[in-house]
Chain A
Amino acid sequence: MNLDKEVAKIEMQKMVRGENSFVLYRCVTCYACEEYCKRGNHPFYLISDLQEKNSILPMPKPLITQWINTGIPTKKDIREFWGAVEPVISLCLFPEYINSIEGKLFEGFSIVVGRYFFCQLAYLHFGRPSIIRERLSSIIENIANHGFQEIVFFHDECYSTFTSYTQAYGIQVPFRSVHLFEYLYGRLRELEDEISPLNVKVAYQRPCSSRLAPEKEHFVDDIFNLIGVERVEREYDRENSLCCGGIIRGQQRYDLFVDVQRRNVVDMVNAEAEYCVFNCPMCFASLSEAVVKRDIKPIMMHELCRLALGEVIKS
């Protein structure tokens, strides 16, 4: 939305009063307003709550049904969990990355994965935050019952759930959440002597959920400095970064989706990026084909770090 400040202010005030606003219908759920608000308020959480209160569907009903069914926590998934000991990393709902969690960065790590660990925060995109609150407490309890004191979260949406979101809604979390990038940076420091600078130019695709934990963003630059890559200067980066487009497509706003992806990728091309580095597997799924078509190599951050350690990436 391209609103002037006065209109934005009026609409925000309406929503603060719990009233309806066109914003609730047009929001692309990019989470950016959570970061733009420097007063510790949670404008996007408010938007999502109001969408649900007013039965406003950001997406078609079948997509919402599909996602609600996908994230139902089931006991079956815990088989991956038995025998897991700290240090432990949660892969959320992304088992396809199990084989990439290896090498020096992840020596000794146990992996947990599956719907049993799914943080549920995605339902913010679907205007159904009550699902998050309905399921989250039992998931936290389940995880805590296994006695982990500290979990590294592969997906920063999980990290943000167990930090920002739970804090905003007063939900207690009895374990310490570690952001993947914070962990990677610390481990890379330990392995500093083994790093071979990559000497490549990269664009960083910032995910929506990183807006909920902006205090961790410096680790992106810290890691890049450590492994010898240049983060190219471009228009759509940092606070001004663009959505990968996945959710916008899910909202069936095809023209906007095409436009956002095009601007994003052209920006990377113009900045002469050789790699597009991802934090979020969903962003990777959404944008990787588009960057490949412009001869930019898509790669997840932990895999880039492994390259710097001279390891071979299988996938």
Chain B
Amino acid sequence: MDRVCERLARIVGENYVSNMKEELYIYSQDPGMMEPREPDYVVMPKTTVEVQKIVKLANEEKIPVIPVGGSLSLSGLVIPHKGGIVLDLKRMDKIIEVNERCRYVVIEAGVTTGRLKAYLEKHYPRLRFSIPDAPPSATVVGNIVIHGQGHLSQQYGFNSDMVTGLEVVLPTGEICKIGSCSVSPYWFSLAPLPDIAGLFLGWFGTTGIITKLGLRLYPRKKLRDIEVFIVEDPHLVPDVVYRVTHTEMAEDIFVNAQPYPPIFKDIIMMGICITGDSEEELEFKRRMIWNVLRTYIDSKEGGFMMTTPDVKRALLEMPITGTTRFADVMKGGGFEYCGPIIPVEKYPEAYKKLLELSSEYGVTYGNTCRVIGRGHCMMFAFGYPFNRADPDNMERTKKALHESNVASLDIGGVPWKPEVPAQKMIMARMDKNTLELMKRIKRFLDPNGIMNPGNWEG
């Protein structure tokens, strides 16, 4: 055991630090396209104080620190591009508090979406959070840090918009609370204080390590159902979304297109999820949605799909596991998507580009979009499953992903949770003063440049 390893062991205990090859390998990659790189150490702290000590050590030793949740970004955001210490937060898995009346939860950084979902279902069946369509091993904090979206995003915005408070360990080791929890025992809100939570959201751990999170919870209705509206013409999608969001009857709206199986070929599906505490409430909402789309029904341009109970069950899953299954459709364990956040009106352009790229590079595709807010924007996934055992397939997929990022920016979108090369593309087009501000913030917070280096580096 080397000197750094020994120092880390003194902080977390010998069982929770390693520099063994077989363990470092696990942290060297994710299922996406980014080149693997092993860290030098992996450490699993249990408490915020342990995180603090590790960060102080890293500053002394000038070693990079990469905070890791579920490692499921698919875009290599926690691959240690410059080696260093991977700080795996999974042991920090306490659900600290649920305030039922104020509808928020306070959790540690390693709590997974699956665990929080199960916990709420068991102990607080009237509450829920915005579950992303990621595997249940994804951490809630990890999803927040990347501005994730979930099943409540159409109603309440990005999952990061639902943050009520943070506890962070700054890159220089100070522990800092943000939001009402900084002056009160309650974690109800970021407002009315100056909003500095944004210093840690969307930065991929380059400005600090979130160790605790306050998150809004929402009413969980007794009944859920789904209507699936389908069209052939992508130009109709923005207006369908506009009409349905206007009703404010839907809980979640997603848009799917994929060539397989044949039932999905040549059509675009819009899943419109509705919820209610009674059949009457559900029926009222269903009728509102049917009525608002009557124009397209009458013109025969669109209609509600005939769905069987099995199909409904699959579409109402949280998370939708079909997405995960599709990710391995090529076999060989490779999947990555470029998922820019775009204006909904740009859907037709993005869809056309996806088909062009799929054809040009001979790669299959899956397109899953989620409407965020009342049509304020949408996540549009250029999704490409690939086979790791097929270098040619990987190369073509890499090119398609690169082109997807370029196209996303060209149409006015911004790649979501971008891999390092896409971050550079974004920064190249970014307002120069904004970029300079980002750099200043980073330098100010992380003078030794130890936090997840490689990311957001201009």
Contacts and interface: CB of A to CB of B under 8 A. Distances in A.
Interface of A: 57, 59-63, 65-66, 69-70, 72, 96, 246-247, 249-250, 252, 254, 285-286, 288-289, 293
A117 to B, nearest CB: 15
B287 interface: yes
A252 B266 CA distance: 20
Given A61-B232, A250-B306, A285-B309, A66 B263 contact: yes
Contacts of A60: 230, 296-297, 300-303
Contact of B301 (A61, A250, A293): A61
A286 B309 CA distance: 8
Please give me the 8 A-B residue pairs with the lowest Cβ-Cβ distance, nearest first.
A60-B303, A285-B308, A62-B230, A69-B262, A252-B297, A250-B306, A69-B265, A60-B300
Interface in B110-158: none
A246 B290 contact: no
Nearest to B310: A96
Contacts of A252: 297, 303-304
Given A57-B300, A69-B265, A254-B290, 15 more contacts: A59-B300, A62-B231, A62-B267, A63-B230, A63-B303, A65-B232, A65-B267, A66-B263, A66-B305, A249-B304, A249-B306, A250-B306, A254-B287, A289-B309, A293-B279
A61 B308 contact: no
Interface in B306-320: 306, 308-310
A135 to B, nearest CB: 14
Contacts of B300: 57, 59-61
Contacts of B308: 285
Main secondary structure of the interface of A (DSSP, over half): helix
A289 B304 CA distance: 18
Contacts of A254: 287, 290
Contacts of B232: 61-62, 65
A57 B296 CA distance: 14
Contacts of B265: 69
6 contacts: A65-B266, A66-B266, A69-B265, A249-B304, A252-B297, A286-B306
Interface of B: 230-232, 262-267, 279, 287, 290, 296-297, 300-306, 308-310
Nearest to B296: A60
Contacts of B230: 60, 62-63, 66
Nearest to A70: B263
A250 B303 contact: yes
Nearest to B291: A254
Contacts of B309: 285, 288-289
A17 B422 CA distance: 66
Given A60-B297, A61-B232, A66 B304 contact: no
B310 A59 contact: no
Nearest to A252: B297
Contacts of A72: 262
Contacts of B297: 60, 252
A254 B301 CA distance: 17
A252 B289 CA distance: 12
A66 B256 CA distance: 14
Contacts of A286: 306
B266 A69 contact: yes
Nearest to A125: B306
B260 to A, nearest CB: 11
A61 B265 CA distance: 13
Nearest to B290: A254
B303 A59 contact: yes
A257 B279 CA distance: 16
Contacts of A59: 300, 303
Nearest to A60: B303
Nearest to B311: A285
A55 to B, nearest CB: 10
A69 B267 CA distance: 10
Nearest to A72: B262
Contacts of A247: 306
B306 A63 contact: yes
Contacts of B231: 62
Contacts of B290: 254
B329 to A, nearest CB: 15
Nearest to B231: A62
B310 A66 contact: no
A293 B232 CA distance: 34
Contacts of B306: 63, 246-247, 249-250, 286
Contacts of B267: 62, 65-66
A157 to B, nearest CB: 15
Contacts of B305: 63, 66
A59 B231 CA distance: 12
A249 B296 CA distance: 15
Nearest to A96: B310
A247 B305 CA distance: 10
Contacts of A61: 232, 300-301
Contacts of A66: 230, 263-264, 266-267, 305
B316 to A, nearest CB: 13
Contacts of A96: 310
A115 B297 CA distance: 29
A57 B298 CA distance: 11
A298 B300 CA distance: 33
A247 B290 CA distance: 16
Given A62-B302, A63-B230, A249-B306, A69 B263 contact: yes
B330 to A, nearest CB: 17
A140 B255 CA distance: 38
A205 to B, nearest CB: 15
Given A61-B232, A96-B310, A252-B297, A70 B262 contact: yes
